[in-house]
């Protein structure tokens, strides 16, 4: 998971993982494909949305103005260079990276408040 997060954040190519101590690029890519096919990243994002909805239902959230978060979505996604560069050649793997990034954003939002 750390290797996939590193790819998402930095925009580095899969083969560059071999120079890190995390794992080989083939292991990371194989696991990424398995998780993509199993819908793990989409489920991570979906569960984050549900958690954020549950958290924002608290009365104290309106006083802090949490409802304005959706207007910042593009700036939040800019933190993930792999989405900006679009290294992914396949639509399903790009969508999995997008789901992973959106899940990280939503979970961070839900847990920070």
Q: Is residue 63 included in any domain, yes or no?
A: no
- Which residues form the domain of 54? 2-58+68-112
Q: What is the pLDDT of residue 63?
A: 47
Q: Is residue 49 included in any domain, yes or no?
A: yes
Whether residue 50 contacts residue 99, with contact meaning beta carbons closer than 8 Å, is answered with: no
Number of domains present in the structure of the chain: 1
pTM: 0.78
Q: Is residue 29 included in any domain, yes or no?
A: yes
Q: Is residue 46 included in any domain, yes or no?
A: yes
97 DSSP 8-state letter: H
Q: Is residue 32 included in any domain, yes or no?
A: yes
Whether residue 6 contacts residue 22, with contact meaning beta carbons closer than 8 Å, is answered with: yes
Which of 53, 88, 86, 47 lies closest to 70 in space, CA to CA? 53
Per-residue pLDDT of the chain (113 residues; tens, 9 = 90+): 899 999 999 989 999 999 998 999 999 999 999 999 999 999 999 999 998 888 776 555 444 555 555 556 677 887 888 888 777 788 999 999 999 999 999 998 888 86
Q: Is residue 13 included in any domain, yes or no?
A: yes
């Amino acid at each position: 998971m750390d290797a996939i997060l590193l790819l998402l954040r930095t925009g580095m190519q899969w083969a560059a993982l071999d120079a890190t101590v995390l794992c080989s690029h083939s292991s990371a890519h194989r696991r990424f494909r398995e998780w993509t096919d199993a819908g793990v990243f989409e489920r991570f994002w979906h569960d984050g949305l549900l958690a954020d909805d549950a958290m924002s239902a608290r009365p104290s959230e309106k006083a802090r103005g949490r409802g304005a978060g959706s207007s910042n979505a593009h700036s939040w996604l800019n933190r993930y260079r792999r989405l900006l560069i679009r290294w992914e050649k396949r639509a399903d793997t790009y969508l999995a990276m997008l789901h992973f990034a959106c899940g990280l954003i939503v979970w961070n939002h839900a847990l920070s408040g």
